[in-house]
């Protein structure tokens, strides 16, 4: 079964992709993402696992075909496998075409097989360095060995793994080829993400600075032949193939505007706020509507449709001017990256 898209925004874009943050908590404290002493939301603010299921099911009924689960660290949310198991019915019916996860990899050793059983086939694992000491420095609390073990378990379970790497000048610049060679050897695609200045994370922990992906790409092309790939996922990623190794490399520049015209996605936070655009603050609170109508989905559907009706054409060009330091006040762990 496939649902015809029912969520069409004012610019005739069909919204078929939902990213869902299932927790704001994390077992790491990556320096570009969180402060060391984070205050997390009280539990009652969060959507329960049942509410998450109802919310996602409603979006699927409205034509969403792809859901990515993120966080915080999604796999530290207690009972999260119950949620994944619940989504299996939508994968089996064909209404949901793909269920994916973005994870820091720390819990994969435990959960990779369960994810596969639930119907997940591809995951993104964030990894910025292959040096154990640097890994602990950038994540503050993480251990590289645990993540590498998790990746291995995931691949043995049959999950296709893509590595997400935040480009940090003076931090992983010298590991560019080590990382791409490792991904090529292990047959994993890789995506580089341009670092966004987020919130106030404390300057003492700055491990790197802005490294433009244009520059990174130029360095890659000194050694490899890069062929642009036409494919677009409707998101801020552009892809190339490295001819010498056959691997696919993505470049994510989250705040560029050149992808807005094909934007097919919205994001939901763990408290049920729907963000129609990563670069804008406008959001719709769906949680209260959901809680106020436990037996009737119609008001929730109406609230979602109203929100999609407000999806902007693209990032606001004045946005960076309003915030001269270029900061986005929300943390990535809140909107789910």
When binding is defined by CB under 6 A, the residue of 7, 15, 22, 30 that contacts ligand SF4 is: 30
- The least CB distance from residue 194 to ligand SF4, in Å, is 14
Number of residues that bind ligand SF4 (CB under 6 A): 12
Contact (Cβ atoms closer than 8 angstroms) between residue 104 and residue 73: yes
Contact (Cβ atoms closer than 8 angstroms) between residue 102 and residue 68: yes
Q: Which is nearer to ligand SAM, 70 or 264 (CB)?
A: 70
**Residues 266, 47, 49, 61, CA torsion sign:** negative
29 binds, among ligand SF4, ligand SAM, none (CB under 5 to 8 A by kind): ligand SF4
The candidate with the shortest Cα–Cα distance to 150, out of 100, 190, 113, 192, is 113
198 binds, among ligand SF4, ligand SAM, none (CB under 5 to 8 A by kind): ligand SAM
Please report, as residue ranges, which positions from 107 to 126 form the binding site for ligand SAM (by CB under 6 A). Answer: 126
Classify burial at 27, counting beta carbons within 10 Å of its beta carbon; exposed 0-12, middle 13-18, buried 19 or more.
middle
Told to check if 33 binds ligand SF4 by CB under 6 A, we report: yes
Q: Segment near ligand SF4 (CB under 6 A), from 53-61, 70-78, 91-99, 117-125? A: 70-78
Please report, as residue ranges, which positions from 152 to 171 form the binding site for ligand SAM (by CB under 6 A). Answer: 164, 166
Please report, as residue ranges, which positions from 192 to 221 form the binding site for ligand SAM (by CB under 6 A). Answer: 193, 195-196, 198
Measure the CA–CA gap between 255 and 280, rounded to whole angstroms: 11
Told to check if 75 binds ligand SF4 by CB under 6 A, we report: no
Please report, as residue ranges, which positions from 276 to 335 form the binding site for ligand SF4 (by CB under 6 A). Answer: 333
Q: Segment near ligand SF4 (CB under 6 A), from 29-37, 83-91, 113-121, 312-320? A: 29-37
| Interaction site with ligand SF4 (CB under 6 A) | 26, 28-30, 33-34, 71-73, 104, 126, 333
């Amino acid at each position: 079964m496939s649902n015809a898209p029912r969520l069409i925004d004012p610019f005739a874009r069909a919204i078929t992709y939902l990213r869902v943050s299932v927790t704001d908590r994390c077992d790491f404290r990556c320096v570009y993402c969180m402060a060391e002493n984070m205050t997390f939301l009280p539990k009652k603010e969060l959507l329960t696992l049942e509410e998450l299921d109802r919310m996602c099911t409603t979006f699927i009924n409205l034509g969403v075909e792809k859901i990515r689960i993120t966080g915080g660290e999604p796999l530290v949310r207690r009972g999260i496998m119950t949620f994944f198991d619940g989504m299996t019915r939508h994968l089996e019916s064909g209404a949901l075409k793909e269920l994916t996860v973005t994870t820091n990899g720390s819990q994969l050793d435990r959960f990779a097989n369960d994810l596969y059983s639930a119907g997940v086939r591809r995951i993104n694992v964030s990894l910025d360095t292959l040096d154990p000491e640097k890994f602990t420095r950038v994540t503050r609390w993480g251990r590289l060995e645990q993540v590498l073990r998790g990746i291995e378990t995931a691949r043995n379970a049959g999950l296709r793994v893509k590595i997400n790497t935040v480009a940090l000048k003076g931090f992983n610049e010298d590991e560019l080829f080590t990382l791409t060679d490792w991904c090529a050897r292990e047959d994993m695609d890789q995506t580089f993400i341009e670092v966004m200045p987020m919130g106030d994370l404390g300057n003492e922990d700055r491990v790197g600075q802005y490294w433009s992906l244009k520059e990174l790409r130029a360095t890659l092309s000194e050694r490899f032949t890069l062929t642009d790939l036409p494919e677009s996922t409707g998101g801020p990623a552009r892809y190339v193939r490295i001819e010498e190794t056959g691997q696919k490399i993505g470049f994510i520049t989250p705040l560029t505007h050149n992808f807005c015209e094909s934007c097919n996605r919205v994001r939901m936070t763990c408290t049920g706020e729907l963000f129609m655009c990563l670069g804008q603050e406008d959001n719709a609170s769906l949680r209260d509507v959901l809680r106020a109508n436990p037996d009737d989905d119609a008001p929730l559907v109406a609230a979602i449709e109203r929100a999609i009706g407000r999806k902007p054409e693209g990032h606001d060009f004045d946005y960076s001017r309003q915030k001269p330091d270029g900061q986005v006040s929300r943390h990535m762990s809140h909107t789910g990256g």
